[in-house]
Amino acid sequence: MTFIEFKKMLLDAEISLPKFSKLIKVSEKNIQSYKKKGEVPNTIAVIVASFSVMHRSGLDYREIVEELQLKAKTKKGAGFKKKEQVKPSIVDETKISISKNSE
């Protein structure tokens, strides 16, 4: 599905992109990145198409999705770990005092 078709389906489902991303717990920035690629992934296409059909059939897809109690995923890669403050070791402190004394 192209990004343009995706946006049309959002209109059919009467939901904005920010509300859609919040509902399915995916970052809006993530979904906006598909605009550059020109296509949305199959899973996102299926979701928005389902929402559109459900809306036309009079089903409240928002309520159904909220009942799932989805949780947003957090980044867990190496570059995303919270940085801890590193205290200098005794060896480091000794090196510092030795270098000061030798000056």
Domain ranges of the chain: 3-73
Residue 92 CB burial class (10 angstroms; 0-12, 13-18, ≥19): exposed
Dihedral sign, Cα of residue 82, residue 83, residue 87, residue 88: positive
Q: Give yes or no for residue 101 having a pLDDT over 70.
A: no
Q: Give yes or no for residue 95 having a pLDDT over 80.
A: no
Angle at 65 (CA atoms; ends 46, 33), nearest 5 degrees: 50
Long-range contact pairs involving 61-68 (C-beta distance under 8 Å, separation at least 24): 61/13, 62/15, 62/23, 65/23, 65/24, 66/23
Q: Which residues partner with 2 through β-bridges?
A: 39
Compare 97 and 33 and report the one with higher pLDDT: 33
Give me the percent of the chain exceeding a pLDDT of 70. Answer: 74
What count of other Cβ atoms lies within 10 Å of the Cβ of residue 22? 14
pLDDT tens digit string along 29-69?
Answer: 999 999 999 999 999 999 999 999 999 999 999 999 999 99
Please report which confidence band the pLDDT of residue 73 belongs to, taking 50, 70 and 90 as the band edges.
confident
